[in-house]
Structure 1
């Protein structure tokens, strides 16, 4: 009886193994998993120079603001040099009102004349990202809702 059970189990496992190798696995983007990924086409950023584009509406509560201008050509952000702060540490630049770094990103207590960025939050582009107008790689049915509750 034990021998028959072992042979039946071995046969069943062999059939399952052969069947699984015959199946092709596809990615969500309708290509085979083993296919080489094609690099996406380079798209231009929305907006032009800073201040030349309207703010981008947030799609969910607590979403970090999105960058409404291109950042190509900006220096790399380091903890010693951050080109974002050249403008966003102030409420107004060259007569234009712009979004200012929030208090949560500043060292406490905040000196209104010389605000200082918290060194734990110096890498702006970890959360605040520029946008491009590109077709999604996969279908997305997300509908944002930032209405107050």
Structure 2
């Protein structure tokens, strides 16, 4: 009886293994899984130079503000160097009122006059993103609610 159970189990496992390898894989992107990925088309950021356009309306509560201007040519953001702060650490730059970095992002050491960005908040473009005109990769039926 034990031999029959072992033989049946071995047969079942062999059939399952063969069936698994016979299945074809399909991908969400609609091409064969083994197809080499193509680099996406490079899209330009919307907007113009900073200060040249209106702020983008938020679509849900607690949404980080979106970047309404181009960021092409900006230096990479590092913990030591952050081009965003050149403008957004101040309330006004060259006579223009601009969104200022929020208190939640800052620390103020005891012996410092100027606020400093908290160590966990210096990577601005992790939450704040510039916009491009691109076709969505997947269907999106999200309807925002801009109510405050």
Give TM class, smaller chain: 0.7 to 0.9
CA contact (8 A) 1:24 1:32 kept: no
How far off its partner does 1:34 sit? Answer: 2.5
- TM-score normalised according to structure 2 size: 0.85
Match of 1:133 in 2: 133
Alignment partners' CA distance in 2, 1:6 and 1:116: 69
1:14-69 Cα distance to aligned partner (Å, 9 max, x none) = 12111111111212222233222111110010111111222222233222111111
Compute the RMSD of aligned alpha carbons: 2.1
Where do 5+ consecutive residues of structure 2 fail to align? none
Q: In the TM superposition, what are the counterparts of 1:1-149 in structure 2 within 5 Å? A: 1-108=1-108, 114-148=114-148
- TM-score normalised according to structure 1 size: 0.85
CA contact (8 A) 2:108 2:114 kept: no
Q: How many residues align?
A: 146
Alignment partners' CA distance in 2, 1:109 and 1:62: 27
Where do 5+ consecutive residues of structure 1 fail to align? none
How far off its partner does 1:135 sit? Answer: 0.8
Alignment partners' CA distance in 2, 1:58 and 1:2: 68
